[in-house]
């Protein structure tokens, strides 16, 4: 998990990558990261996270099926987006980025995206097989 926010100089900044381990991330984990990085929910323009293989790739029978699974944010993903917006993040700017567990790419879920939307591919981006 990493945050995208505006630095003091008004530049877009991606935080260091942090992992909670296991599947998903808790509100306490997120609040701890915000404190660690010295930002608030209102400062965050988006978050980047991966889908782990144990939840999104192992049950897929083929690459195409795994790719479709990876393009479906979980309920926790959508709830996390909403949590940031309720805390002051801009609903008109906030974007959630999901890295697939099978290296198929990174997908963006921008303002107005709703559950069921399969994400816009982020051009030229791939990721490691499993970051956990």
Other beta carbons within 10 Å of 55 = 14
* Per-residue model confidence as pLDDT tens digits over 88-104: 999 999 998 888 776 66
* Per-residue model confidence as pLDDT tens digits over 46-79: 888 877 666 666 665 666 676 677 777 888 888 9
Q: How far is CA 120 from CA 17, 42, 54, 61, 132, in A?
A: 22, 24, 24, 24, 23
Q: How far is CA 75 from the centre of its chain?
A: 12
Predicted TM-score of the model (pTM): 0.76
Backbone angles phi and psi of 108, in degrees to 5: -105, 140
């Amino acid at each position: 998990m990493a945050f995208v926010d505006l630095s003091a100089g008004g530049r877009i900044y991606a935080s260091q990558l942090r992992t909670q381990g296991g599947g998903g991330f808790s509100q306490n984990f997120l609040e701890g990261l915000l404190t660690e990085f010295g930002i608030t929910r209102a400062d965050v323009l988006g978050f980047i996270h991966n889908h782990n293989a144990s939840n999104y790739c192992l049950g897929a029978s083929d690459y195409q099926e795994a790719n479709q699974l990876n393009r479906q944010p979980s309920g926790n993903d959508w709830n996390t987006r909403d949590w940031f917006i309720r805390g002051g993040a801009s609903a008109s700017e906030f974007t959630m980025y999901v890295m697939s567990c099978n290296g198929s790419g990174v997908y963006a879920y921008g303002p107005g995206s709703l559950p069921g939307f399969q994400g816009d591919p982020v051009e030229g981006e791939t990721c490691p097989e499993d970051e956990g």
